[in-house]
Amino acid sequence: MSTDSSIRNPDHPLLAQANAEEGARQRFVLALKGHLGRTLRPRMHEVYQQQALPRWQAEQGRSPETEQEVAEALYAEPRYQYWSALARAAQEHMWLAVAAPIERQRESLQSQCESLRQSARGSLTLNPEVAPPRVLREVDIHLQPGGYLRDEGPQDIMAGALYEAGGNLYSQGEGVGTRESKADCAMRFLREWAPDFTPRRILDLACSAGASTVPYALAFPDAEVHAVDLGPGLLRYAHARAEALGATVHFHQADATATPFDDGSFDLVVSHNAMHEMSPETQQALFAESHRLLAPGGVCLHQDVPLRLADFDTFSRVLYRWDEFFNGEPCWSAYGNNDCEALLEAAGFDPEHSHTGLFAMLDNSFSWYFAAGRKGAASCNGTASQKSTARQQGAAA
Ligand SMILES: C[S@@+](CC[C@H](N)C(=O)[O-])C[C@H]1O[C@@H](n2cnc3c(N)ncnc32)[C@H](O)[C@@H]1O
């Protein structure tokens, strides 16, 4: 098995090639983000303890108690302001740096996508009638220019190309998943948790550029694989990308909480890194829709970052919510505070056949959070299905 990041970020002809100047700019952003994230961010605790807290205590005559008070104290501190402003600027700069080669090669990338789609074994069904939720209409999630719904005409693939290029650059600095992708990790979990289970119809909800869909299609070549998202530019790119990687996938523009498929029409329904970008109502509806779509004995598996805010102290919760307020992640704490066991149960999954908890990647670089449920009375592996409390780790979206 490969030990480099090509497992997580496979090479294919739709990836724009950076020239020397663009490459240097991308390396600069990566180094800047690494410095801000790995060196300066951990020091914010010291900034809080040594400057923000004593100042607030002197002014108020007591210690801050609530999250809002801790945030007030921290946000007033110049060293935090400096870090926060730079972190925001670095994120904006990252998008500019990955957009440059894509913009330069835009026409040729679009025509390659067109020709891949013309000889496709999979399919693409767009439905402009589908209404996206408010979060996606109003926010450019993690500051991606134009957001997930960016759509500049019938051939436009910018949303997908940017999403993949941004993720590839970001993950280069993380050292996460050098031996398997998050979908491979999820499939390994499934083999342990439900060893008797081989899916024949698979649905990936909120697939974005299809990075997690493709591994399922390649691992289960006899299965029929479908994927939904709301962004047309994401889906055009995802479809062409899947074809370029030899995967047959049927992509649909649809809301993950109200898909056009019949009751019981899938035996595996998954999502990857989707919950943390959904409102509490959408998260609940995601589980309910998964239950509706599953045939008896079918499995839903929702994977996301290991952000369980209840396990954090107040200061750490405030620090983690930086992404919510300054990095276009409006649902970050709605996800971090959710109760996936309750969501599974409310959707109709029996707690005896459900699982929530962390599962480590093969290289032990990171653990993902999984919420899984099996519909009906089919059994799942007792050891892996024990509930586990999420250990806190840094999130790598
Ligand atoms: C972080 S991305 C998902 C990444 C992708 N699953 C992967 O593993 O590479 C989140 C995606 O959720 C999609 N999304 C959010 N709300 C949705 C909804 N209600 N229905 C369908 N897609 C949704 C967004 O358009 C976006 O593409």
Q: Spell out the alpha helix ranges (H) of the chain.
A: 20-34, 44-47, 53-60, 67-75, 78-104, 106-118, 134-138, 158-172, 182-193, 213-219, 232-244, 280-293, 314-320, 322-326, 332-336, 340-347, 382-385
- Interval 51-98: pLDDT, tens: 999 999 999 999 999 999 999 999 999 999 999 999 999 999 999 999
Give residue 31's pLDDT. 95
Which region among 70-84, 169-183, 310-324, 360-374 has the lowest average model confidence (pLDDT)? 169-183
How large is the angle between the packed helices 53-60 and 67-75, nearest 10 degrees? 110
- Whose C-alpha lies nearest to ligand 1, atom 10? 274
Query: Closest ligand 1 atom to the C-alpha of 209?
Result: 9
Which region among 55-69, 200-214, 340-354, 377-391 has the lowest average model confidence (pLDDT)? 377-391
- Interval 126-160: pLDDT, tens: 999 999 999 999 999 999 999 999 999 999 999 99
Query: pLDDT band at residue 378, thresholds of 50, 70 and 90?
Result: low
Residue 165: pLDDT above 60? yes
How large is the angle between the packed helices 78-104 and 67-75, nearest 10 degrees? 80
Query: pLDDT band at residue 386, thresholds of 50, 70 and 90?
Result: very low
Helix (H) or strand (E) holding 125: strand 123-125
Query: Closest ligand 1 atom to the C-alpha of 228?
Result: 21
Which region among 86-100, 163-177, 178-192, 357-371 has the lowest average model confidence (pLDDT)? 163-177
Range 280-306 burial, b when 16+ CB lie within 10 A, else e: eebbbbbbbbbbbbbeebbbbbbbbbb
Residue 207: pLDDT above 50? yes
Range 197-210 burial, b when 16+ CB lie within 10 A, else e: bebebbbbbbbbbb
Specify the pTM. 0.93
Q: How many CB atoms are located within 10 Å of the residue 6 CB?
A: 10
Please state, for a pLDDT cut of 90, what percent of the chain lies above it.
Answer: 87
Give residue 178's pLDDT. 76
- Interval 332-369: pLDDT, tens: 999 999 999 999 999 999 999 999 999 999 988 899 99
Residue 239: pLDDT above 60? yes
Length of the chain: 397
Q: Identify which of 372, 366, 375, 183 has the alpha carbon closest to the alpha carbon of residue 293.
A: 375
CA of 272 to the centre of ligand 1 (A): 8
Give the residues across from 224 on adjacent strands.
201
Give residue 365's pLDDT. 86
Amino acid residing at 3: T
**Residue 213 CA to its chain's centroid (Å):** 13
Give residue 8's pLDDT. 75
Classify strands 367-374 and 294-304 as parallel, antiparallel or unpaired: antiparallel
- Find out whether the beta carbon of 181 lies less than 6 Å from any atom of ligand 1: no
CA dihedral of 357, 187, 287, 170, whole degrees rounded to 10? 80
Q: With beta carbons less than 8 A apart as the criterion, state whether 391 and 358 touch.
A: yes
Collapsed DSSP state (helix, strand, coil) of residue 175: coil
Residue 250: pLDDT above 50? yes
Give residue 343's pLDDT. 98
Average confidence (pLDDT) over 178-192: 94
Give residue 170's pLDDT. 83
- Whose C-alpha lies nearest to ligand 1, atom 14? 206
Average confidence (pLDDT) over 250-276: 98
**Residue of higher predicted confidence among 176 and 209:** 209
Q: With beta carbons less than 8 A apart as the criterion, state whether 384 and 197 touch.
A: no
Give residue 384's pLDDT. 44
Please state, for a pLDDT cut of 70, what percent of the chain lies above it.
Answer: 92
> What strand order describes the sheet that includes 367-374?
123-125, 250-253, 224-229, 201-205, 266-272, 294-304, 367-374, 354-360
Pairwise CA distance, residues 149 & 35, whole Å? 31
- Whose C-alpha lies nearest to ligand 1, atom 12? 206
- Find out whether the beta carbon of 227 lies less than 6 Å from any atom of ligand 1: no
For a mutational test of ligand 1's pocket, the pick from 207, 270, 323, i.e. the residue with the most ligand atoms closer than 8 A to its C-beta, is: 207
Give residue 3's pLDDT. 40
Residue 238: pLDDT above 60? yes
Q: Which residues contact 169 (CB under 8 A, 6 or more apart)?
A: 26, 29, 30, 94, 97, 98
Average confidence (pLDDT) over 273-297: 97
CA of 235 to the centre of ligand 1 (A): 11
Give residue 298's pLDDT. 97
Query: pLDDT band at residue 172, thresholds of 50, 70 and 90?
Result: confident
- Whose C-alpha lies nearest to ligand 1, atom 26? 208
**Residue 200 CA to its chain's centroid (Å):** 25
Q: DSSP character for 36?
A: I
CA of 144 to the centre of ligand 1 (A): 13
Average pLDDT over the chain, rounded to an integer = 92
- Interval 281-291: pLDDT, tens: 999 999 999 99
Average confidence (pLDDT) over 1-27: 83
Collapsed DSSP state (helix, strand, coil) of residue 165: helix
Residue 222: pLDDT above 60? yes
Residue 379: pLDDT above 60? no
Task: Quote the tokens at residue 206.
Answer: 């909120």
Give residue 387's pLDDT. 43
Pairwise CA distance, residues 227 & 249, whole Å? 7
Range 19-44 burial, b when 16+ CB lie within 10 A, else e: eeebeebbeebbebbeebbeebbeeb
